[in-house]
Structure 1
Amino acid sequence: MRRLLNGIYEGAAWLAGLFMIGILVFVLWSIIIRQMGTNFPGLDAYAGYSMAAAGFLALASTFRKNEHIRVTLVLAALKPRARHYLNLFTLVVAIVLSGALAWFSIKLVMDSYSYHDLSTGEDATPLWIPQLGMAMGCVLFCIAIVDEFISSIKKGHSRTEEEPVSMQT
């Protein structure tokens, strides 16, 4: 299961990287076309869609690699056991918040699909297509946080903590 989850997180990170390349391609294409005196509808929107997809798809991998910004001032002042319980509490809060974000992102995609929402630009892209990247990224992020919570309970410490905590009272 660990290899499967890590593979999914890494695959989403690679997909985020491809979307970052997409941003570059769309912006450069837009610049070149404008210099030629012509227009291609939707390039700016596609660059924006790619930016959103890249940001959300990278969340899970970044979290699993412990590269999210953390304020450790309070954690560093605590004893290992208190640090562990505070870390578990913050993971529970993160699960609730990321779960809500994932739920409403999926709902947004489903609503956009059922209402046949189109972008307001000249390209008239069905909005559920670019919203998929956000929804997938939010779901993977929530899974990564749940994964970390379960791992922290099993091991007695998180990857962000230096040493295991004895769970005996």
Structure 2
Amino acid sequence: MRKILDGLFMGSAWLAAFSMIIVLIMVLLSMAGRTLNFYLPGADAYAGYAMAASGFLALAHTLKRGEHIRVTLIVGKLNGAARKAMELWALTVGGALSALVATYSWRLVLQSHQFHDISTGNDATPLWIPQLFMALGATVLFIALLDEWVLEWQNRRSHQSEETRHE
């Protein structure tokens, strides 16, 4: 199971990286178009869609690497059962919020598909396509938070300090 989860998180990170490459390509094509007097319809919109996709798809991998910004003012001073309770509480709240974001993101994808919602730009992209990546990223984040919750419950989650992690 660990290999499958790690593969899911890494696959999501690779999709995020690929999305960043799409952003670069769209920006370069837009710049070349201005220089060479041609217009690529939707380049700005596609760059924006890819940027949003990269942000959402990278969330789980960032969490698993311990790179999310955390306020450790309180939890850093706790030890033992108190720390475990605080970590479980934070992971529970984070998991619940990510479950809500994932649920409503999938609803948005389905509604956009049902209503044939398209972008207002001249590219007329069906909006369910870029929304799909947001829903996918939010779902993978929920799975990562659930995984972290289980690891914390089993005392298998590492609590590296900021200084230790970057040495």
TM-score bracket for this pair, using the shorter chain length: over 0.9
State the secondary structure of the residue aligned to 2:71: coil
| 1:134 matched residue in structure 2 | 134
| Per-residue CA distance 1:37-73 (angstroms, 9 max, x = gap) | 2211100000000000000000011111111111111
Q: Check 1:132–1:16 CA distance in 2 against 1; reply closer, same or farther (3 A cut).
A: same
Match for residue 160 of structure 1?
Answer: 159
**What is the CA–CA distance in structure 2 between the aligned matches of 1:7 and 1:32, rounded to whole Å?**
37
Query: Residues 97-117 of structure 1, C-alpha deviation per residue, up to 9 Å, x if partnerless?
Result: 000000000000000000000
Name the residue aligned to 2:63: 63
Q: How does 1:32-111 map to 2 (within 5 A)?
A: 32-111=32-111
TM-superposition CA deviations, 1:108-161 (whole Å, max 9, x none): 000000000000000000000011110000000000000110111122x53226
- Cα distance in 2 for residues equivalent to 1:79 and 1:7: 32
Q: 1:154/1:79 Cα in 2 relative to 1: closer, same or farther (>3 Å)?
A: closer
**Mapped partners of 1:75, 1:25: distance in 2:** 42
> Which amino acid is the alignment partner of residue 17 of structure 1?
A
Distance in 1 (CA, whole Å) between partners of 2:47 and 2:75 is 39
Amino acid at match of 2:30: S
Return the letter of the residue paired with 1:5: L
Uncovered stretches (5+) of structure 2, i.e. residues with no partner? 162-167
Equivalent residue, structure 2, for 1:27: 27
Q: Distance in 1 between matches of 2:12 and 2:75?
A: 30
TM-score (norm 1): 0.92
User: Partner amino acid for 2:145?
Assistant: I
Shift >3 Å, 4+ stretches: none
**Structure 1 residue 82, shift from structure 2 partner:** 0.7
Q: Percent identity?
A: 47
Amino acid at match of 2:22: G
Letter of the 2:157 partner, please give it. Answer: S
Q: Secondary structure at the match of 1:88?
A: helix
Q: What is the CA RMSD across the aligned residues, in angstroms? A: 1.2
Tell me by how many angstroms 1:34 deviates.
Answer: 1.2
1:167 alignment counterpart: none
Task: State the TM-score, normalized to the length of structure 2.
Answer: 0.93
Distance in structure 1 (CA, Å) of the matches to 2:36 and 2:43: 15
